[in-house]
């Protein structure tokens, strides 16, 4: 499973402090959220009969097991400084799993696929309820709002049905066998289609992200 995550930032000034805050946002919130996402894939696969992730030592929340040196660290930092912080694209190390080991060959891959986004939604809901019902300061509400928004974005984005995102596995599970040529084309050109979606059509999922964010925070979140 791949966990891809994308964030666009509006840079009001080019001061060092703003850059530092954005980098802290990435390392403190995005990376842990992505690690939990990947762990959920491996955990679900293990529950459904495939121990591949467990044997590979990936059923852990230890960042060292999930961080890809290029995709999680070097490439995002390079993009960050090249674009002045306006664009960031990164991915975590895919959790290995063998779909042929799953007890349910039809729906098993779908459950493994949605486990990652599901974990992000669960995190977002947990922090969203905290915003709604706990007596928090404005500063803490702001911080938790960022966590909620980041995880909602990760969950929604990864459910877009374009390879290698998790949504493509969901699509394949419900796609009739007669559409195998469509699957073949998606697998062949998926990454290019994904890039087009990110640069030109990403705003299509913004209303969905906003709706879920407001639903989880009760409209209290500062976004």
Mind listing the pLDDT tens digit for each residue in 81-125?
776 655 566 667 888 989 999 999 889 999 999 999 999 999 999
The pTM is what?
0.84
Query: pLDDT (tens digit, 9 = 90+) per residue, 173-185?
Result: 999 888 888 889 9
| H helical segments located in the chain | 16-25, 31-47, 52-55, 75-82, 108-133, 138-158, 166-174, 180-196, 206-217
* pLDDT score for 101: 95
Residue 42 falls within a domain, yes or no?
yes
What are the catalytic residues? 38
Angle between helices 138-158 and 31-47 (to 10 degrees): 50
In a domain, 129, yes or no: yes
Distance of CA 80 to the CA centre of its chain: 18
Asked whether residue 223 is domain-assigned, the answer is no
Domain-embedded: residue 58: yes
Q: Does the residue 222 lie in any domain? A: no
Question: For the chain, what is the domain count?
Answer: 1
């Amino acid at each position: 499973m791949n966990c891809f995550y994308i964030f666009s930032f509006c840079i009001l000034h080019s001061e060092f402090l703003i850059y530092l805050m954005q980098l802290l946002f990435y390392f403190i919130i995005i990376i842990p959220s992505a690690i939990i996402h990947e762990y959920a894939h491996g955990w679900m696969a293990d529950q459904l009969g495939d121990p591949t992730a467990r044997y590979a030592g990936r059923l852990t929340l230890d960042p060292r097991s999930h961080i890809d040196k290029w995709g999680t660290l070097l490439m995002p930092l390079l993009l960050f400084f090249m674009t002045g912080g306006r664009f960031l694209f990164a991915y975590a190390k895919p959790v290995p799993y063998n779909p042929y080991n799953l007890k349910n060959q039809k729906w098993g891959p779908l459950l493994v696929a949605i486990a990652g986004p599901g974990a992000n939604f669960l995190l977002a809901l947990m922090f969203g309820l905290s915003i709604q019902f706990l007596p928090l300061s404005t500063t803490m509400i702001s911080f938790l709002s960022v966590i909620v928004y980041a995880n909602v974005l990760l969950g929604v984005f990864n459910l877009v049905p374009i390879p290698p995102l998790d949504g493509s596995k969901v699509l394949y599970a419900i796609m009739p066998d007669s559409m195998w040529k469509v699957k073949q084309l998606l697998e062949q050109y998926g990454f290019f289609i994904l890039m087009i979606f990110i640069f030109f059509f990403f705003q299509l999922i913004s209303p969905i992200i906003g709706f879920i964010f407001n639903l989880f925070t009760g409209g209290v979140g500062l976004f």
